[in-house]
Amino acid sequence: MLAVVALVIGLIQRMPAKQRRSGAQAPPTDPFASGDSNALFGDPRTIRAGDIVEIHGAPYTVRGSLRYDEGGWTWSTHFLDDAKGSQAWLSVEEDPDLELSVWTPLPDAGLEPGPSAVEHGGRRYKLDESGTAKFRSEATTGLAEQGSVRYYDYEAADGAMLAFESYEGAEWEASTGENLNQHALRIYPMSQNG
């Protein structure tokens, strides 16, 4: 009898802990999630100043980042600069899937936000969303360390985007944007992400 008890105890100890737990089930997981989806191209959610980001093969240096919060909804934009002096902003947002877009400033565009539709460059953009968010600035962005921003986002029928932002009540800044597939990016982390 003692030998049988010892045998049962030995078998139980050899069982993986997961099997020993009675009734314990693994939590549901996203069927589209992949633990290594960012292994080759880098994770856009971890971009920091000093990193190198390639967009469609063109390399940019991340000079700074803006971290936004609108009632608990968060997203980031990263100030990019290339060796030729071209500048852009990369937007990274989860809504709930990862959404990436690259924005090019439109200096002196002479446009104002507010109406339900705006015409620019032969396109008609319809208002998608607007609001006010708090921001926190990291490294070089040309903005204060923190503050608030008002924004209007418009989208054309072909997916082209037009955005307006006013930081701390300053004049409206306009920019055009395009959505990016995650595989259009390659990220080389040069900073100490922590």
Q: What is the pLDDT of residue 14?
A: 61
Give me the pLDDT at residue 20, please: 47
Closest CA to 162 of 119, 110, 98, 107: 119
Interval 110-133: pLDDT, tens: 899 999 999 999 999 999 999 999
Single out the residue of 125, 170, 128, 126 nearest to residue 150, CA to CA: 170
Low-confidence ranges of the chain (pLDDT < 70): 1-24, 29-40, 191-194
What is the model's pTM?
Answer: 0.78
Q: Can you tell me whether residue 14 is helix, strand or coil?
A: helix
